[in-house]
Chains A and B, each alone.
Chain A
Amino acid sequence: MPKTSPGNGKSVTSRVAVTAAGVVSPLGFGLSETLDSLRAARDCITRVTRFSVAECRCNTAGQVPDDRLLKEQHDTNRPKRLHRTSHMMIRALTEALAQRPAFKPELTVIGTTSGGMSYGEDYYRSLCQNGNLRHSPTWVANYTAQKPVIDAQEAFGISAPCQVIANACASGTNAIGHAYECVRSGRYQRVLTGGYDALSELVFVGFDSLQASTAEKCRPFDRDRTGMVLGEGAAVVLLENLDVAREHGTPILAEIIGYGISTDNFHMTQPNPSGIGPRQAMERALQSSRLSADKVDYINAHGTATPFNDAAEGKAVSELFDRVPVSSTKSMMGHSLGAAGAIEAIICLLALQHQFLPPNINFRASDEGVDLNIVANDARPMTLRTVLSNSFGFGGTNASIVIQKFEA
């Protein structure tokens, strides 16, 4: 019989190791470039060039450069039909599998919000404007949300079943959290997880129409914050039963030790101002990891820099934790939606591995209503053992994971 934790009734059978990771984001291609950008507190937000933003309030985003992304397509002779999201996923998976070539997932759990949306836009725009629809079968077959992960698996001969979670901006953390629970329950030994999303006009204009995005710098938790900027990218982590991984001598990057999810039902696009949703997600993650709040050394916040989100998250964090260092790395790379939680999990891994606090750039002044210990503007060395990463999304979905440095 599996043991049951008295706190939440969850059957606890297995520890869960992160054995490899790969990432593509505005911060860079791969773990090493990402680490460099974080340490240098690099602002990777640039003017949007993929579509017209002339009528938008916001005209910047964190972008993955196509020249570099697609150069690899030519080098490897991959099919031209693939969406750039697929290329990001392939790049991230290439990096992860280079660290752990023998990894064969039994299950893939991945987060996204819009997959290859820009192909859907190309198709619809051509229909509207009586344009050339010669490529429409390619656009239609490759715009679906699940296609990038299937393409990435195919590139490596993997045919694992794919559970593609679309829980808005919490998708990436939800995916890693659910994957973690699948391994922890003992039902699976190896799960591929992560998230992806690419910039698209529809989503960009959507956030602009809500006046959630800013014409200025993205300043999470700043008193004068005015909104978010979007981003894009892909990140994958390979999760394995820790005991089995150790038996095989597999290097372990870190351990995932807790996951919490909540639904706050307050509003489609706004969090409950009380912070109850984020608070419940963090409490459940702590409960699941059997840790008290004082054991958390750093929080990678959702921190979109919208007035409502940061206020609700800040309130929840300050109520649960006592001056724990907090940063939102979206200040450097933008909000990559379904990829955000996965990229931020990798940022947490890097922070644990290299013992530093990733910075929250563009920070000028504390919000008087929120008492937070912000890692302002520069990375800082710090002894870290346990970190928590938050993601919250439209529809009131909230997710938190707890990651710990692996100690043999």
Chain B
Amino acid sequence: MSLAIAGMGWVTPLGNGVDPVWKQLLQGYEATATKISEQFSDRSYNAFRVPESTLTALAPHPRLRRASVISRFAAAAGLEALQTAGVKVDSQSAERIALVFAISNGGVIYTKRFYRDIVEAGAQSASPLLFPETVFNAPASHLAAILGITGTTYTLVGDSAVGLLAIKMADDLMANEALDYCLVVGAEEADWVLCDAYRRWRLLRLAPPIEPFNEKKRGMILSEGAGAVLLARDGPVVIERTHPGMCYRRRSEAAEVLKRILYDLGQMEIDFVISSANGTYIDRAECQALRQTIPDTVVYTPKPAMGESVGAAGLWQVIVGAQALRSGELPPLLHAGLTIPLRTSASRMPVPDAERAIVLSCGVNQQVAGLRLRQRSRPPMISGSIK
């Protein structure tokens, strides 16, 4: 059974819309970091946030009146994916579209506000309006309601590998011939409390840049936004193989697990890899695994340009992979040192004959996943569409 990408949607710190964001990546732009102050001390963090101008440009919807920004990001990305694929959901088709939502930290802004009220003023101050938005599946529920999806809706929670695990789940769901499409959406919102938590976990750096594959593992910068991929049975970019993924027990085992996944996915010629390197220990694991399995393959990671969006990250990587296959070009890898033992490029890199790409995702909470994309044929670029 064939699984293909029929449409995509993107909300990022570099703006929204697949084509505009892709152009910025190709031109080597990096998102602007925003300072977020911690509430209980004078410490501040940098995060790549979705710009206010982008946020105000997102279409409003009555269902999202009280929702946190994560739901707005998700709705915008999901609607763009359907729109670019030319798919309209009506009462007839609603049961034939599944929604799989990938998330890691979820609605952290409202969760923090809700719990802060409890801690500071007691249980009687807890807001019944905020509580429903703290639930992991709140963004998926809003999106399903906006689209009118009445059948299968799943929210998957995990680390930054969850986006690819969601695509794997979608692949399994599409084995059911009663489904025509599966919309896979990943979303995340940034907040100081997340920055603080990742800092204490020793995974965050206080200011950009993210330096991929750097021996010093200086850490990542969190970001926010959403990515959406509409999966169908046919399309110009095929998801040729979804690896079910694995878990590693210790950081030192991550490279070995990645190698096994790369070995499984790399059984044919691979033109480039979209890596999840984000400036943490993951980079070394990915570097080792890539060198030992497909050493001559070009490697790119979008995280130095747009940050670590955790639940959305896997979807962003897939969009990058599909866009690179489609356009025959990879963006410049930002902030990479000269001594990286991988094939990378600090400038735009033509990959005109690229046919296959691996998307690899290694999360910081022990989950790893991967998939292989294949370009069926390269039609001329049509704005906003993958047709």
Q: Which residues of A contact B (CB under 8 A)?
A: 4, 8-11, 52-56, 106-107, 112-113, 115, 121, 123-125, 127-130, 133, 136-137, 140-141, 144-147, 150, 153-154, 159-168, 174, 178, 181-182, 185, 187, 201-202, 205-211, 261-265, 268-269, 280, 393-397
Selected from A128, A145, A165, A261, the residue in CB contact (under 8 A) with B120 is A128
Interface centre among A136, A137, A164, A178 (most CB of B within 10 A): A164
B140 adjacent to A395 (CB under 8 Å) = yes
Q: How far is the CB of A174 from chain B (nearest CB, A)?
A: 7
Q: How far is the CB of A181 from chain B (nearest CB, A)?
A: 7
Cα of A277 to Cα of B140 in the assembled complex, Å: 16
Q: How far is the CB of B314 from chain A (nearest CB, A)?
A: 13
Q: Sorted from nearest, which 8 A-B pairs have the closest CB atoms?
A: A395-B141, A9-B178, A161-B245, A166-B136, A206-B131, A55-B123, A265-B145, A209-B126
Complex interface residues of chain B between 113 and 162 (CB less than 8 A to chain A): 114-116, 118-120, 122-124, 126-128, 131-138, 140-141, 144-145, 148-159
CB-CB under 8 A for A159 and B151, given A145-B136, A202-B134: no
A55 adjacent to B122 (CB under 8 Å) = yes
B177 adjacent to A141 (CB under 8 Å) = no
B269 in the interface (beta carbon within 8 A):
no
A396 adjacent to B156 (CB under 8 Å) = no
Residues on the B chain within 8 Å of A145, using CB: 136, 157-158
B177 adjacent to A137 (CB under 8 Å) = no
CB-CB under 8 A for A162 and B175, given A124-B112, A205-B126, A262-B150: no
Describe A's contact surface by its main secondary structure. mixed
Residues on the A chain within 8 Å of B133, using CB: 268
A163 adjacent to B156 (CB under 8 Å) = yes
Residues on the B chain within 8 Å of A115, using CB: 157
Residues on the A chain within 8 Å of B120, using CB: 128
Residues on the B chain within 8 Å of A53, using CB: 123
B114 adjacent to A206 (CB under 8 Å) = yes
Residues on the B chain within 8 Å of A202, using CB: 111, 114-115, 118, 134
B367 in the interface (beta carbon within 8 A):
yes
B155 adjacent to A201 (CB under 8 Å) = no
Residues on the A chain within 8 Å of B173, using CB: 181
B257 in the interface (beta carbon within 8 A):
yes
Interface centre among B122, B135, B201, B367 (most CB of A within 10 A): B135
Among the stretches B47-55, B192-200, B209-217, B228-236, the one at the interface with A is: B192-200
CB-CB under 8 A for A140 and B200, given A128-B40, A159-B248, A163-B169: yes
Which single residue of chain A is at the shortest CB-CB distance from B153? A263
Residues on the A chain within 8 Å of B383, using CB: none
Selected from A106, A137, A144, A394, the residue in CB contact (under 8 A) with B132 is A394
B246 adjacent to A166 (CB under 8 Å) = no
B137 adjacent to A209 (CB under 8 Å) = no
Residues on the B chain within 8 Å of A124, using CB: 112, 115-116, 119, 193
Q: Which residues of B contact A (CB under 8 A)?
A: 40, 99, 103-104, 111-112, 114-116, 118-120, 122-124, 126-128, 131-138, 140-141, 144-145, 148-159, 165, 168-169, 172-173, 175-178, 193, 196-198, 200-202, 244-249, 257, 365-367, 369
Which single residue of chain B is at the shortest CB-CB distance from A109? B169
CB-CB under 8 A for A167 and B153, given A159-B248, A209-B128: yes
Cα of A358 to Cα of B303 in the assembled complex, Å: 53
Which single residue of chain A is at the shortest CB-CB distance from B247? A159
B244 adjacent to A164 (CB under 8 Å) = no
Residues on the A chain within 8 Å of B153, using CB: 167, 261, 263, 395, 397
Q: How far is the CB of B294 from chain A (nearest CB, A)?
A: 21
A137 adjacent to B200 (CB under 8 Å) = yes
CB-CB under 8 A for A11 and B177, given A140-B200, A168-B135: yes
A159 adjacent to B257 (CB under 8 Å) = yes
Which single residue of chain A is at the shortest CB-CB distance from B99? A263
CB-CB under 8 A for A268 and B157, given A146-B367, A205-B123: no
Which single residue of chain A is at the shortest CB-CB distance from B250? A154
Cα of A363 to Cα of B40 in the assembled complex, Å: 49
A164 adjacent to B176 (CB under 8 Å) = no
Q: How far is the CB of A77 from chain B (nearest CB, A)?
A: 17
B150 adjacent to A265 (CB under 8 Å) = yes
Cα of A280 to Cα of B138 in the assembled complex, Å: 21
16 other A-B residue contacts (CB within 8 Å) besides A159-B246, A178-B169, A394-B135: A52-B123, A55-B124, A112-B157, A124-B115, A127-B40, A145-B136, A160-B246, A163-B169, A166-B136, A166-B155, A181-B173, A185-B172, A209-B131, A263-B99, A263-B152, A394-B141
Selected from A56, A128, A153, A160, the residue in CB contact (under 8 A) with B116 is A128
Residues on the B chain within 8 Å of A162, using CB: 158, 165, 245, 247, 367
Cα of A279 to Cα of B77 in the assembled complex, Å: 31
B157 adjacent to A146 (CB under 8 Å) = yes
Residues on the B chain within 8 Å of A280, using CB: 150
Can you report 28 A-B residue pairs in the complex whose CB atoms are below 8 A from each other?
A9-B177, A121-B115, A124-B116, A125-B119, A127-B196, A137-B202, A144-B104, A145-B157, A145-B158, A150-B247, A150-B366, A161-B165, A161-B168, A162-B247, A163-B168, A165-B157, A167-B137, A178-B169, A202-B115, A205-B118, A205-B123, A206-B126, A211-B128, A261-B152, A263-B152, A394-B137, A395-B141, A395-B153
Cα of A112 to Cα of B136 in the assembled complex, Å: 10
Residues on the B chain within 8 Å of A10, using CB: 176-178
Selected from A9, A113, A166, A208, the residue in CB contact (under 8 A) with B156 is A166
Cα of A181 to Cα of B152 in the assembled complex, Å: 12
A265 adjacent to B148 (CB under 8 Å) = yes
Cα of A205 to Cα of B130 in the assembled complex, Å: 12
CB-CB under 8 A for A395 and B138, given A164-B157, A181-B172: yes
Selected from B114, B123, B126, B141, the residue in CB contact (under 8 A) with A397 is B141
Q: How far is the CB of A302 from chain B (nearest CB, A)?
A: 16
B156 adjacent to A164 (CB under 8 Å) = yes
B150 adjacent to A107 (CB under 8 Å) = no
A395 adjacent to B156 (CB under 8 Å) = no
Residues on the B chain within 8 Å of A207, using CB: 131
Cα of A272 to Cα of B193 in the assembled complex, Å: 36
Cα of A397 to Cα of B178 in the assembled complex, Å: 19
